[in-house]
Amino acid sequence: MAETYDVVIIGGGPGGYNCAIRAGQLGLKVACIESRGTLGGTCLNVGCIPSKALLHASDLYRAAQEDFAGLGIKTGKLEVDIDQMMAQKNDAVDGLTKGIEFLFKKNKVDYIKGRGKILGPGKVEATLTEGGTQTFETKNIVIATGSEPVGLPGIEIDEERVVTNTGALSLTTIPKRLILIGAGVIGLEMGSVWARLGSEVTVVEYLDRILPGADDEVAKEAQRAFKKQGLTFRLGMKVTGVEKLKSKLKLSMEPAKGGETEVLDADVVIVAVGRRAYTDGLGLENVGVTTDKRGVVQVTDGHFKAADGVWAVGDCIHGPMLAHKAEDDGTAVAELIAGKAGHVDYNLVPSVVYTNPEIAWVGKTEEQLKAAGVEYVKGKFPFMANSRARTNHETTGFVKILADKATDQILGAHMIGTGVGEMIAEICVAMEFGASSEDIARTSHAHPTLSEAVRQAAMGVEGWTMQM
């Protein structure tokens, strides 16, 4: 006998688990099918969380080497204990994935370990990890299967020497020569970790800029900062293959515009050229759900609905591939199923790159506004002129706020500097409320804090920044 549910969710990442917990809170009978063996998806297991554990630890090591003496702190000989660094990362991951299991129990979500497949309208089958199958009858199916790394032709990933984010987070030794393919978010975060720990890092990028999607001015400032940290950038280069020799890897590349092939030696190559929706073998055809060429589930209502009684959330639908966007999608869908309102504004999903300096933005870039013909005013404030940043000797970067020329409504904010990943939330709230730059400029900000730079940038929109 198949069990009957209100909601069966396929996938237990940030999209799926938030949907499950919210559905449970709203009194719906819910099951979540996950095949990985742990909850949390890419984010908790091989993405956001382990990368932040390594970014945090490696940045403290860097600070101990480079900053402590100037602050009057003497250290002895510093050494990296890579096993312990990986162990503390694994501890963070374990604690958080178990935390979701606890939240499932608390909210009466049935956690099914196995691989889910849609058999037809209202019918899902799980091939259980422990063997056998289980069938579910359900009023609603939620597809929350996330994404997987994209590969490159001519490059075989082995997750030991040629790795994706998964392997890059679990290297057992510090590679002497590390090459990153792709100067996107994963490339820069992973490059930062291993450069701080002592690797010679080269970043090979197809485009003639880093961080596509980020504001141009921010990307340029970031590249300057990373160069100072020892990262070598080879922009406008297309990787054509990686040959695996016993003693080393040989990476071939050529100018994107065409030209001579160049070969670089490496010990480890990280492939970080984007991700694609993970929707193969899900039985989508059994409910008339279609995907585009890249596997992205097509929605019929412009938002989350893929067919009658079938919803999709997170990386496998349109919108930015970010954990917090997936969380919001999942919550909104649970609320829609429960008959409440549910909506996510993808224009207000912040992006954060957790390097040092951090990079954060929300809303439109200057390039997007220009392309759309929107007239805007810019306010900008450098951390060099912020008293707290100067006191902490962390003066790289700036805050930039873009506001509509006619109405002063904030259209976007772009920041680079220490702590901006936290500071962007202020702008997200302001933009959700349709705030003007003047609203922020006239809001009291504690002194001395880094967030005063946000206020000063907002003051700059009307030209009354108070800067030395």
Which position among 20, 23, 214, 352 is part of the footprint of ligand NAI (CB under 6 A)? 352
Per CB under 6 A, the segment of 32-40, 114-122, 204-212, 294-302 that binds ligand NAI is 204-212
Q: How far apart are the first and last CA of the chain?
A: 75
354 binds ligand NAI (CB under 6 A): yes
Q: Rounded to whole angstroms, how far apart are CA atoms 364 and 341? A: 26
Contact set for ligand NAI, span 386-405 (CB under 6 A): none
Nearer to ligand NAI, 114 or 314 (CB): 314
CA-nearest of 273, 434, 463 to 348 is 434
When binding is defined by CB under 6 A, the residue of 171, 321, 401, 441 that contacts ligand NAI is 321
In the complex with ligand NAI, the residue whose CB is nearer, 185 or 399, is: 185
Residue 413: HSE in the Cβ half-sphere, 13 Å Cα cutoff: 35
Shortest spacing between CB 36 and ligand NAI, in angstroms? 17
Confirm if 203 and 187 have CB atoms less than 8 A apart.
yes
CB of 240 to ligand NAI, least distance (A): 8
Nearest to 421 by CA among 48, 22, 26: 48
> Which of 7, 55, 239, 296 touches ligand NAI (CB under 6 A)?
239
Smaller CB separation from ligand NAI, 352 or 402: 352
DSSP per residue over 103-163, as a string?
A: HHHHTTEEEEEEEEEEEETTEEEEEETTSSEEEEEEEEEEE---EEE---TT----SSSEE
Measured N-to-C along each axis, helices 216-228 and 185-196 cross at an angle, to the nearest 10 degrees, of 20
* Max CA pair span of the chain: 75
Interface with ligand NAI (CB under 6 A), residue from 151, 241, 274, 309 = 274
Task: Name the minimum Å distance from CB 300 to ligand NAI.
Answer: 24
Query: By C-beta, is 361 or 376 nearer to ligand NAI?
Result: 361
Contact pick of 9, 28, 273, 296 for ligand NAI (by CB under 6 A): 273
| Contact indicator for 297, 306 with CB cutoff of 8 Å | yes
User: Least CB distance from residue 213 to ligand NAI, whole Å?
Assistant: 7
Q: Helix, strand, coil: what percent of the chain each, to 5?
A: 35, 30, 40
Q: Minimum CB separation from ligand NAI for residue 118, in Å?
A: 26
Active-site residue numbers? 447
* Contact positions with ligand NAI (CB under 6 A) in 172-201: 181-187, 189
What x/- string results for residues 210 through 229 when contact with ligand NAI is judged by CB under 6 A? --x-----------------
Q: List, in order, residues 6 or more apart from 134 with CB less than 8 Å away.
A: 3, 112, 114, 125, 126, 128
Of 10, 9, 39, 7, nearest to 26 (Cα)?
Answer: 7
**Tokens matching residue 263:** 């070969």
- Residue of 92, 128, 207, 374 that binds ligand NAI (CB under 6 A): 207
Q: Which of 206, 220, 235, 462 is the binder for ligand NAI (CB under 6 A)?
A: 206
Q: Residue with CB nearest ligand NAI?
A: 184
**C-alpha span between 214 and 352 (Å, rounded):** 10
Interstrand relation of 262-266 and 275-277 (parallel, antiparallel or unpaired): unpaired
Closest by Cα among 216, 218, 238 to 369? 216
| Per-residue x/- track, 125-164, ligand NAI (CB under 6 A) | ---------------------------x------------
CB of 114 or CB of 149, closer to ligand NAI: 149
CB of 357 to ligand NAI, least distance (A): 14
> CB of residue 402 vs ligand NAI: minimum separation in angstroms?
21
Positions in the binding site for ligand NAI (CB under 6 A): 152, 181-187, 189, 204-207, 212, 238-239, 272-275, 321-322, 352-354
